[in-house]
Amino acid sequence: MRAFRETGFEELLTAFLGRSSILPPPDPGGQREFLEEYLRAGAPEFPFLYRACLLALRALSLIMKGRPFSRLEEREREDFLNRLLSSRNPLLRGTALLAGMPLYMSYYRRPEVSVPLGFDPQALRDEADLRVVTRDRSLPPREEGKP
């Protein structure tokens, strides 16, 4: 299942994630694999909804900017997405939010991105392993008259 065109996917990544001097650049190959797995593993309606949001972004670009999304300059794309995300219209805001959500998830889940931001999943797992919870103990008997 190839959900994304080569050029369309990279322009979406740069539009939603931007460029950072501190964080590593997006990895289109790894992120594409994550997104395809994410779309397969989720609700059966979500891939259709996601593609509809991507098409709506392209249509809204034509309507609001007068040019296709792929022809907008990088700064114009960011301004366009910020305008949609800050819109009072829940349909416009939801379209941009749903289109960007898997992109954000695929980028910020990477350890080389999350650790500099202060979220270390391995450290959280190590800490959780210190507090192992089991259910093999029996509960104390229930007192009479109390629920």
> What pTM did the predictor assign?
0.75
**23 inside domain:** yes
Please check whether residue 95 lies inside any domain of the structure: yes
Is residue 120 a part of any domain in this protein? Answer: yes
pLDDT in tens, 71-111: 999 899 999 999 999 999 999 999 999 999 999 999 998 88
Positive or negative, the CA dihedral 36, 41, 44, 45 is negative
The average pLDDT across 141-146 equals 67
Backbone angles phi, psi at 131, to 5 degrees: -115, 70
Between 125 and 7, name the one with better pLDDT. Answer: 125
Spatial contact of 69 and 83, defined as CB atoms under 8 Å apart: no
pLDDT by residue (tens digit) across 22-31? 889 988 888 8
Inside any domain, residue 122: yes
Residue 76 lies in a domain: yes
How would residue 21 be classed by pLDDT, with cut points 50, 70 and 90? Answer: confident
Q: Are 16 and 100 in contact (CB under 8 A)?
A: yes
Angle at 64 between CA 95 and CA 4, to 5 degrees: 45
Number of domains in the chain: 1
Task: Say which residue, 88 or 117, is predicted with more confidence.
Answer: 88
User: Within a domain: residue 146?
Assistant: no
In a domain, 27, yes or no: yes
**Cβ(113)–Cβ(107) under 8 Å?**
yes
Per the structure, the complete domain to which residue 91 belongs is given by 6-130
Q: Is residue 1 part of a domain?
A: no
Which residues neighbour 40 within 8 Å (Cβ) at sequence distance 6 or greater? 1, 47
